[in-house]
Amino acid sequence: MSKIALITGASRGIGAALAREFAQTGYNLSLCCRNSKEDLFALKKQLEETYHVEVMTSIGDIGEFSFVENMISETLQHFGHINVLVNNAGISHIGLLSDMSVEEWNTILNINLSSAFYTSKLVIPNMLKLGSGKIINISSVWGNVGASCEVAYSACKGGINSFTKALGKELAPSNIQVNAIACGCIDTSMNACFSEEERQELADEIPAGRFGQPEEVAKLALQLVDGNNYLTSQIITLDGGWI
């Protein structure tokens, strides 16, 4: 039976690194993104030509249940099953909570937190039929400790952490493992708002002395998928000793 992984927010950064890591180990993929259609199509072409895997792509808002429902239905119709779900899609919002609009709050909540509910709800029945499955949630250290001027983002990632712990317990009797990676400063476009001076100051605060790379997150995710089935409901921090 072929191995199938569904990865959200896969057009660039951590998502694209995840797609490459899983493709080179033989996974066929279902990938989605919201805005970066050209990047996603270029990634699909690269993965199919380099690793000779099959890649489905979907463009839409992962914070909308109807989009997720259609994407997963099409994935299951095409591939027949989903072995791995990686909830990676996310957006950031920097600013004072008192200046944040209700619309901005709902948007970040839907994309960063509700999407994990949507995808998990729709994938779990298939995993139950298979008798196995892995769900990996990409979280953040701000979900562990919170960050000033990133209250909504921190709340979402804190929710993802609790979601992971609870769902892992719920699904453990069914041989489905649920874990999360709480990322520190990873060198992606999400951190493009920092100047070079600010980036260096931030790197100096990290005991490892540098930002993490998206490929390091992807390798850890694959280790969680291929590793010990007794490991579940865990929030694994990948931050170079920062927090």
User: Where in the sequence numbering do the catalytic residues fall?
Assistant: 153
Cβ atoms 150, 142 nearer than 8 A:
yes
DSSP code per residue over 179-190: EEEEE-SB-SGG
> Is the backbone of residue 111 left (phi > 0), alpha (psi -120 to 50) or beta?
alpha
Contacts of 86 (CB under 8 A, 6+ apart): 5, 6, 7, 8, 18, 135, 136, 137, 138, 221
For 94-106, letters b (16+ CB in 10 Å) and e give eeeeeeeeeeeee
